[in-house]
């Protein structure tokens, strides 16, 4: 092989920097997709030349990347990409790392909790947060159960209210019916006992009955308010007024 030819140069770089790609698992579709996305976000899709994003295999991706091992910028990007991948894996397995400052009093209380539980401050903080989260979930669950009980109780009260109103309306209707019969009978007795022809008697009956009905409406105007869908007092005298 010509040591000055391009094939020799490429073979040299392949062997020298091949380890830069050893962290890539061609069989991992998730990792291959992440690498493709990473390079796209960095604006270096030129390094994907020869690889089909919509159907290429992991092996094809590695082969496409190997072609650029002689590029110093590419090698630097590969190192950064490898670090980003390991950091991603670490966060997935160990949780997201956070950093914050605690007031002196709170820090002392955390130390005390850690000593009482016989664990590190980090473990104690995890337990405190976990306990608080569980407590919040428990309170939410209890609140939801309480709301459900109140809603069920309210439904029962509404059902009883509707039933009571139905009974009330039936009682009022019966009483008004009986009262209307008594009023009509009383008016008829008054008219019958007076002198005059039949036509005049009917007229006096209607006038007297109308007067009695008006008096009754003034005495109990709330009847229609408490049963707006029921018969009015005057409805019981439709045949005469």
Pair of tokens at residue 11 = 């073979």
Q: Is the pLDDT of residue 183 over 60?
A: yes
CA 3 to chain centre: 69
Domain range summary for the chain, segments of one domain joined by +: 6-94, 123-237
- Contacts of residue 102, defined as CB under 8 A and 6 or more positions apart, other chains included, come to 110
Digit-coded pLDDT (tens) for 30-53 = 999 999 899 999 888 888 887 876
DSSP state of 170: H
Whole-number pLDDT of residue 9 = 47
Q: Is the pLDDT of residue 145 over 60?
A: yes
Q: What is the mean pLDDT of residues 79-103?
A: 81
113 vs 53: which has the higher pLDDT: 113
CA–CA separation, 52 vs 62, rounded Å?
12
- Of residues 146, 9, 132, 131, the one with CA closest to residue 69: 9
- Contacts of residue 82, defined as CB under 8 A and 6 or more positions apart, other chains included, come to 20, 23
Across the chain, what does the average pLDDT equal? 81
9 vs 25: which has the higher pLDDT: 25
CB atoms within 10 A of CB 202: 13
Output the pTM of the full model: 0.39
Q: Percent of the chain scored above 70 by pLDDT? A: 85
Band (pLDDT 50/70/90 cuts) for residue 241 is low
First to last CA, the chain: 125
Q: Is the pLDDT of residue 167 over 60?
A: yes
Helices (H) and strands (E) in the chain, counts: 8, 0
């Amino acid at each position: 092989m010509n040591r000055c030819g391009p094939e020799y140069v490429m073979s040299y770089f392949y062997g020298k920097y091949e380890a830069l790609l050893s962290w890539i698992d061609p069989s991992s579709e998730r990792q291959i997709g992440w690498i493709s996305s990473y390079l796209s976000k960095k604006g270096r899709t030129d390094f994907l030349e020869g690889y089909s994003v919509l159907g290429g295999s992991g092996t094809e991706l590695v082969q496409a990347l190997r072609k650029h091992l002689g590029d110093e910028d590419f090698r630097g990007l590969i190192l950064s990409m490898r670090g980003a991948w390991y950091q991603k894996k670490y966060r997935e397995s160990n949780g997201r790392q956070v950093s914050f400052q605690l007031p002196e009093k709170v820090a002392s209380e955390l130390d005390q909790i850690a000593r009482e539980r016989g664990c590190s401050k980090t473990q104690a903080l995890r337990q405190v947060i976990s306990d608080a989260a569980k407590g919040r979930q428990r309170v939410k669950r209890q609140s939801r159960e309480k709301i459900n009980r109140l809603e069920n109780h309210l439904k029962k009260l509404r059902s009883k209210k509707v039933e009571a109103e139905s009974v009330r309306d039936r009682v009022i209707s019966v009483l008004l019916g009986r009262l209307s019969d008594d009023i009509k009978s009383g008016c008829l007795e008054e008219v019958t006992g007076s002198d005059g022809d039949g036509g005049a008697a009917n007229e006096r009956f209607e006038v007297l009955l109308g007067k009695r009905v008006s008096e009754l409406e003034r005495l109990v105007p709330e009847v229609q308010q408490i049963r707006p869908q029921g018969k009015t007092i005057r409805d019981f005298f439709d045949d005469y007024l």
